[in-house]
Amino acid sequence: MKILAVATTTALSLSAASAAKNPFAPKVTPKNPNSSYIGRLLSKARPTPNSQLRRLEDDAEVDISSYSIKFEKCQYIKQYADERDEDIDNVLETKRFVIFRLCPNDSCSSDSCVSNFGEYIVDMETYLESTLQHKQEEQEQYCQACEECENDDGAAGDDDAAGDDAARRRRKLVDVNCNSCYAQCQNIENMEENGYVDAAEYVNCAKVYENDNTGLVYYAGAICANSGRRIKVGLFTDEACSVYDPDVAVDQYLKNDNGYNVKLSYHLLKQTFVADECVASCTKVDENANDDDQAEVEVSEVCENLYEAAGKCETPYGFADGIDYSNSDNYDTQVANEEAVCDFISTIESGHFDETGEVVIQGGTAVYASSVQTTGGQKFALTFFVIGTVGLAAYAALLHSKIFKGRGADLSAQGAGNMA
């Protein structure tokens, strides 16, 4: 797993980075018609063959359909490069990570997601690919339900009435406001005509500007901002998007097909790092089910993909529905892997890396989190060493005093002899 590989090599990266110059909790879901409707469906839900996320090698089942994704933090980390570019005089490469939690549904605020949750770390590319796809689908469903609002006044026949009922159920699931949704969807549809472009189109590193005369080249890609609490689009000077240029405005170098400058719209991207609400629910309910049906509840694709790819830290937080390794033949290895991931996440959350991925230096020392504690034997040995050192120093001082006293006496005797 890439996360484990990075976690186990963090110490080496910290040592290398320290030698260099030292150069993001969602709100509780309101009790609205949407949440009440889903709650009634869930009360009648029964497991289906697809409702479990996956079956592990040791037949352990994991069902996270009652949880939601909560964004925690975005972080760059510089570490030793697996493959060094000969054109770049640097042995380090920049890795981009996102820490997120799986909190029980409707408990994504900072003061409610405090138990029975899991904490995870995944590369930023995977996180943005999964969450942006999910948000794009939600946006399409929202605007589709908005178009169906005009059918609320009734239908001419039974078939139309049945279709109208289905449309109402879809609107409940997406919580569409028929009074305001039209203007919102029109703004999204006419974005390019208004001189904007979706920022989500630029999260993957790609060339956006090149001047053949000056040789200036810029690449656009996702960056961590506001101490990791936000994700934005920035400009880089290399094709790997590792050398960020903070002195230029990204809008200045973005142009449409007609050569005109465009501005970035964060309406979609900002939903992937919301501060006081869940990013996405892992509950996927059949939109065609009615109140009397036993709705089939499955795990949403966004949660499935992220859980599959992420490094997991679940045991310390009492995550009830996590992976149970107790009967696994590789129990000790799994526990060690989880401890490595937990330590790695703790290092990041403790603020021991700056926004560029460099290790934070305090007093000439690279500071990073560690779960290692001093044992009783180590404390005794340290105490014995300190006391012994002090004792030796005192003894040396005593000897020094005696030597000088003896030498003084000899000199006195010699002086008396000469005078005689």
Tokens of 249: 């405005």
Q: Beginning with the edge strand found earlier in the chain, give each strand of the sheet holding 280-281 in spatial order.
A: 280-281, 67-80, 92-104, 118-123, 311-313
Tokens of 170: 């879809």
**Given this model, what pLDDT does residue 304 score?**
94
Taking Cα atoms as reference points, which of 37, 97, 27, 96 lies closest to residue 68? 27
**Mean pLDDT computed over every residue of the chain:** 74
Comparison of pLDDT for 117 and 8, the residue scoring more: 117
pLDDT surpassing 80 at residue 45: no
Confidence of residue 28 (pLDDT cuts 50, 70, 90): very low
Give residue for tokens 């080249």: 217
pLDDT surpassing 60 at residue 219: yes
% of the chain with per-residue pLDDT over 90: 36
pLDDT surpassing 70 at residue 356: yes
Lowest-confidence region among 40-44, 123-127, 188-192: 40-44
Beta strands in 201-301 (DSSP E): 206-210, 217-225, 230-236, 263-265, 280-281, 283-285, 297-299
User: Cα–Cα–Cα angle for 324, 326, 330, nearest 5°?
Assistant: 100
Rounded to two decimals, the pTM is: 0.70
User: Cα–Cα–Cα angle for 7, 203, 206, nearest 5°?
Assistant: 105
pLDDT surpassing 80 at residue 315: yes
pLDDT surpassing 90 at residue 201: yes
